[in-house]
Amino acid sequence: WPGVISVQATWDNGTWHMCSGALIHPKWVLTVAHCFAHAGDISRWEVVIGATDLSQPGPEAQLRHIKTLLVHQYYEPRTARNNIALLELDQPVECSDYIQLGCVPDSSLAVSDLKTCYIAGWRATPDSSPNPRMVLQEAKVRLIDVQLCNSSRWYGGAVHPQDLCAGYPRGGIDTCQGDFGGPLVCKDNTGDYFWLVGLTSWGKGCAGAKRPGVFTSTQQFHTWIQVQMGLLPPEA
């Protein structure tokens, strides 16, 4: 997944993977606001692009610092409403076989009709303790109707209109905590390319029945993204 990035912070006890995100422009990363709830000094934070194993990023990987953090002005931490943020990088990223840009859909794409979807993010490999290796993982998932996802036996109204649900009704495949901001991508139904349709926002536990992952829908924030990046005037 050449567009997935790792957002990392350096504290007194080392540098840690904090959440994931997606590169959508050589200088801009899309992620979730939740990641920066207690960010502190943003100069301690950095972005790793083009890695699959964070303990050994490899020569393809690129490191950038965050020039600007733009959290959605109406983000609500308690309910995870408007859980989206943009990071402006200090230097543009050079695209390669390992680093490519995610495509955010506008309102013309029928996202709910997309059939082949994947989630990606970093997980600690269970066999590598006491020094867990953080390796990029992927899983195939299905989009789940938000009304079903919001029904009384599922999430009971906690999912917002700007969200997507994905996983499997019986559970088994899901994003786990620590994967916040990880991209949900779906293959176009006719073209040979993928859309960046969601960012991992929240979920209850890991892969339980009727507890799919909840994702911020990038399509719902297409205009906001364009305005923040200076591609549209603010009144749009």
Query: pLDDT digits over 86-115, tens only?
Result: 999 999 999 888 888 999 999 999 999 999
pLDDT at 209 over 60: no
Dihedral sign computed on CA atoms, order 209, 211, 217, 220: positive
Look at residue 231 in the predicted model and tell me its pLDDT: 87
4-11/14-25 β-pairing: antiparallel
Look at residue 221 in the predicted model and tell me its pLDDT: 97
Domain residue spans in the chain? 4-89, 111-217
Dihedral sign computed on CA atoms, order 49, 184, 26, 190: positive
Please check whether the two domains, 4-89 and 111-217, share a CATH topology.
Answer: yes
Cα–Cα distance measured from residue 19 to residue 148, given in angstroms and rounded to the nearest whole number: 28
Closest of 80, 215, 85 to residue 141, by C-alpha: 215
Q: Which residues contact 174 (CB under 8 A, 6 or more apart)?
A: 139, 141, 167, 203, 206, 207, 208, 211, 212, 213
Q: Architecture of domain 111-217 in CATH?
A: Beta Barrel (2.40)
Q: Which of the four pLDDT bands, split at 50, 70 and 90, describes residue 124?
A: low
pTM: 0.89
Convert the pLDDT of each residue in 29-45 to its tens digit.
999 999 998 777 889 99
CATH of 4-89, one of 1.10.10.10, 2.40.10.10, 3.40.50.880, 3.40.50.720: 2.40.10.10
